[in-house]
């Protein structure tokens, strides 16, 4: 019942943003994860992205390998292949993550430093730039309550131009559906600094342990 309530609230937000004429993007995906050893795991993440008027913006699949160096520090490598509706050439992205984290009682603070050969908002141009992305997530787990809220902030640093050209702020709710499946419902507010361009991103992702 809580899952249907979350999705219902999501549709209300989407309808409100459309009615106000905002630039709106929708993301629907899944994160399939399995552990090879106690510290080594692999992921497969398919996703569909829609832009305004529910037109297909991008479809993608991402493969990842992650490794826990210590209790509070992990690393990961990712490869993404994506397709654009008006471009026959596949886009290829590589990313490398360093992910420290800390827990204070029920509060979890996660940081992700990502190095990537380009980022998701310049997929339609040949002028791709390497990026360093800094993301902070604060998540609170309530005792005996299935909903876990979180907030996030991310800055995009463009290496070739030596500037911060985009920021992204988000709120979301995780709900455990069963022992191995969670649903993540989130909202992102995205700003491109130099162009003074804003957009809203609404997303739903299923996280499944195999």
User: Which pLDDT score, from 0 to 100, does residue 91 have?
Assistant: 86
CATH number of the CATH domain containing 132: 2.40.160.40
User: Which pLDDT score, from 0 to 100, does residue 125 have?
Assistant: 47
User: Which pLDDT score, from 0 to 100, does residue 205 have?
Assistant: 96
For 17, the enclosing helix (H) or strand (E) is helix 2-19
* Residue 129, CA distances (Å) to 7, 89, 173 in order: 36, 18, 32
Provide the token pair at 102. 């800390």
User: Which pLDDT score, from 0 to 100, does residue 85 have?
Assistant: 84
Domain count across the chain: 1
Range of the domain at 139: 2-209
Contacts of residue 54, defined as CB under 8 A and 6 or more positions apart, other chains included, come to 26
DSSP letter string, 138-194: EEE--TT-SEEEEEEEEEEEETTTTEEEEEEEEEEEEEEEETTEEEEEEEEEEEETT
**Residue 14: strand, helix, or coil:** helix
User: Which pLDDT score, from 0 to 100, does residue 159 have?
Assistant: 84
Ranges assigned E (strand) in the chain:
24-35, 40-51, 55-70, 73-84, 87-104, 107-116, 131-140, 147-158, 163-178, 181-192, 197-209
Per-residue pLDDT of the chain (210 residues; tens, 9 = 90+): 555 566 666 666 666 655 555 678 899 999 999 999 999 999 999 999 998 767 898 999 999 999 999 989 999 999 999 988 877 778 889 999 999 999 999 999 999 999 998 755 445 445 567 899 999 999 999 988 888 999 999 999 988 888 888 899 999 999 988 889 999 999 999 988 777 678 889 999 999 999
Q: How far apart are CA 183 and CA 177, in angstroms?
A: 7
Q: How far apart are CA 104 and CA 159, in angstroms?
A: 34
Q: How far apart are CA 3 and CA 98, in angstroms?
A: 32
């Amino acid at each position: 019942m809580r899952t249907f309530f979350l999705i219902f609230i999501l549709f209300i937000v989407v309808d409100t943003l459309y009615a106000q004429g905002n630039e709106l993007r929708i993301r629907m995906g899944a994160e399939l994860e399995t552990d090879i050893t106690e510290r080594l795991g692999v992921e497969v993440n398919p996703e569909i992205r829609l832009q305004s008027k529910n037109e297909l913006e991008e479809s993608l699949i991402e493969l990842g390998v992650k490794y826990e160096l210590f209790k509070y520090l992990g690393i990961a490598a990712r490869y993404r292949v994506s397709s654009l509706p008006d471009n026959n050439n596949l886009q290829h992205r590589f990313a490398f993550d360093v992910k420290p984290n800390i827990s204070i009682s029920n509060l979890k603070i996660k940081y992700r430093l990502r190095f990537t050969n380009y980022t998701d908002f310049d997929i339609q141009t040949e002028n791709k730039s390497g990026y360093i992305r800094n993301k902070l997530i604060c998540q609170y787990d309530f005792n005996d309550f299935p909903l876990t809220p979180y907030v996030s902030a991310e800055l995009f640093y463009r290496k070739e131009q030596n500037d911060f050209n985009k920021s992204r702020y988000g709120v979301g709710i995780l709900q455990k559906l069963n022992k191995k499946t969670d649903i993540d419902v989130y909202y992102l507010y995205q700003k491109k600094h130099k162009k003074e361009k804003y957009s809203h991103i609404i997303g739903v992702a299923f996280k499944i342990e195999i």
